[in-house]
Amino acid sequence: MALKATIFRADLSISDMARNYYHDHSVTIARHPSENDERMMVRLLAFALHAGDALVFGDKIGNEDEPDLWSKDPTGAIDLWIDVGQPEEKQVRKACGKARQVAVYAYSGHAVPVWWSQARSGLERLRNLTVVSLPPEAVTELATLAQRTMALQCTIQDGQVWVTGGSRTVQIELRTLMRPAW
């Protein structure tokens, strides 16, 4: 018998100073049995960083043809494709061919510099790609906020993110490894 996803719900209040985006979102996140709290919370962080009416969680686990999150325009064209972790270079190139913008949020401690040193030369020529590295300590702390039902406040300003759940606040410094070349 196959294991089923665990459902998490988050009431997310987002204050993004850079985008002038101030909205509340109620999101449902299906955490696959093979996914840990860190990965799930990085997906939620990516949602907060790109939140909008069209942004939805994809069915990435076991399906390389879908991102972790994405948004489409009214015609069905993909505006934004978001992956978390260290995707293979081939997958990132394929995503860049399908979407107007692609963002990768790399995490997992010492694995990120190794992944980036191997993937960088192949990815640098992609003109619609953003790659952001997340500090491992912050991702570990972020995972401690994971609960089946969460109420989180997310403040985004000047490359810094503060995620507050209850009496605990986690500060995350976004380290941009690559920006779009437009």
Q: Is the pLDDT of residue 48 over 80?
A: yes
Indicate yes or no: pTM above 0.75.
Answer: yes
pLDDT digit string, tens, across residues 95-147: 999 999 999 999 987 899 999 999 999 999 999 999 999 999 999 999 999 99
Q: Is the pLDDT of residue 1 over 60?
A: no
Q: What is the percent of the chain with per-residue pLDDT over 90, rounded to a whole number?
A: 86
Q: Is 70 exposed, middle or buried (0-12, 13-18, 19+ CB in 10 A)?
A: buried
List C-alpha distances in Å: 111 to 20, 85, 117, 144: 34, 10, 10, 21
- The fold for domain 6-178 equals Restriction endonuclease-like alpha-beta roll fold (3.10.640)
- Contact in structure between 58 and 66 (CB atoms under 8 Å): yes
Joined together, the tokens standing for residue 171 give: 């500060």
What's the CA gap between 104 and 133, in Å, rounded? 8
Strand partners, 151: 11
pLDDT at 63: 65
